[in-house]
Amino acid sequence: MSGHNRWSTIKHKKAAADAKKSKSWTKLIKEITISARSGGDPNGNPRLRSAVDKGRGANIPADTIDRAIKKGTGELGSELVEELIYQAYGPGGVAIVIELATDNRNRTAAELRKLLERQNAKIDPSGSVLHKFKKRGQIIFDGEKVTEDAVTEIALDAGADDVRAEGDTIVVLTEPSACHSVKEAFEKKGMQPLEAEVSMLPELTVEISEKDAEQINKLVSALEEHDDVMNVYTNHEEAPSEG
């Protein structure tokens, strides 16, 4: 079906190698709590179902997950955490979307500005960054364990939008609300994905120099280490090296 780009190949090769390093328990618990605000039953709340699945995958105890859900629904007192999205531009004109969950907006804003400035990036006040991304469900398979034809057949029957071979992986794209049901369709056929999540995917990528890419990668790593940062998305791909 659709072609692929170097940016996603690099991203998904990493995912295939280590099924993407698990987020810390703290962030996973925070995601469960926030997701539960829309309803505490995972069966009727796809975002919560996905968060709970990730929590279980990281071996978070069941009672800890249950407590996080009850905090989100207000049964254990309300959780004073707000979700924010920061938009920024980095070296080479790279668009960056940063999803946050914080209990202190001012502190987090000050810390993020410092992190961005350190790597020659800055907040975009115009709000133009989000227009460069689209929220999609993506289900990623190890290309050595399944064939593209087998994945495509199930994906189309289950209502997925697209299937792409990207490097060593096969990626199924869905509407955000359909991600969980499509994943379940694969699991019923005995096909276990490396990961399934709703992400912000770039509509177009920008090619940047090796030097700019180094700065961007440093920035993304620093952002991901911050306790309040839940997800970081960029639209860059590195230019092929000469010779």
Residue-wise DSSP of 72-138: HHTTT-----EEEEEEEE-GGG-EEEEEEEES-HHHHHHHHHHHHHHTT-EE-TT--GGGGEEEEEE
Return the pLDDT at 6. 46
Return the pLDDT at 26. 86
For residue 126, the domain's CATH number is 3.30.70.980
Residue-wise DSSP of 18-71: HSSPPPPHHHHHHHHHHHGGG-S-GGG-HHHHHHHHHHHHTT--HHHHHHHHHH
Report yes or no on 176 lying in a domain.
Answer: yes
Domain co-membership, 65 together with 137: no
Mean pLDDT of the 6-19 span: 47
Domain co-membership, 161 together with 53: no
Return the pLDDT at 79. 64
Report yes or no on 78 lying in a domain.
Answer: no
Domain co-membership, 95 together with 180: yes
Domain co-membership, 114 together with 43: no
Separation between Cα atoms, residue 172 and residue 161, nearest integer Å: 8
Contacts of 150 (CB under 8 A, 6+ apart): 191
Report yes or no on 95 lying in a domain.
Answer: yes
Mean pLDDT of the 227-232 span: 92
CB contact at 8 A, 112 and 98: yes
Separation between Cα atoms, residue 139 and residue 198, nearest integer Å: 9
Return the pLDDT at 135. 92
pLDDT at 20 over 70: no
Domain co-membership, 42 together with 132: no
Residue pLDDT, tens place only, 23-45: 588 888 998 998 898 888 888 88
Domain co-membership, 145 together with 173: yes
Domain co-membership, 68 together with 145: no
Binning pLDDT at 50, 70 and 90, where does residue 2 land?
very low
Report yes or no on 2 lying in a domain.
Answer: yes
CB contact at 8 A, 49 and 224: no
Query: What's at 178, amino acid-wise?
Result: A
Domain co-membership, 12 together with 119: yes
In the chain, the percentage of residues whose pLDDT exceeds 90 is 54
Report yes or no on 133 lying in a domain.
Answer: yes
Report yes or no on 242 lying in a domain.
Answer: no
The residue out of 55, 73, 91 marking a domain boundary is: 73
* Domain range enclosing 218: 1-19+83-237
Q: Hey, CA dihedral for 44, 58, 16, 204, is it positive or negative?
A: positive
CB contact at 8 A, 200 and 231: yes
Return the pLDDT at 243. 41
Binning pLDDT at 50, 70 and 90, where does residue 125 land?
confident
Report yes or no on 243 lying in a domain.
Answer: no
Domain co-membership, 41 together with 128: no
Domain co-membership, 51 together with 94: no
Return the pLDDT at 160. 94
The residue out of 43, 73, 103 marking a domain boundary is: 73
Binning pLDDT at 50, 70 and 90, where does residue 115 land?
very high
For the sheet containing 82-89, what is the strand order? 122-123, 82-89, 95-102, 229-234
Q: Is 3 helix (H, G, I), strand (E, B) or coil?
A: coil
Please count the other Cβ atoms lying within 10 Å of the Cβ belonging to residue 82: 13
Domain co-membership, 144 together with 67: no
Question: How many separate domains does the chain show?
Answer: 2
For residue 38, the domain's CATH number is 1.10.10.200
Separation between Cα atoms, residue 204 and residue 129, nearest integer Å: 12
Domain co-membership, 129 together with 14: yes
Binning pLDDT at 50, 70 and 90, where does residue 223 land?
very high
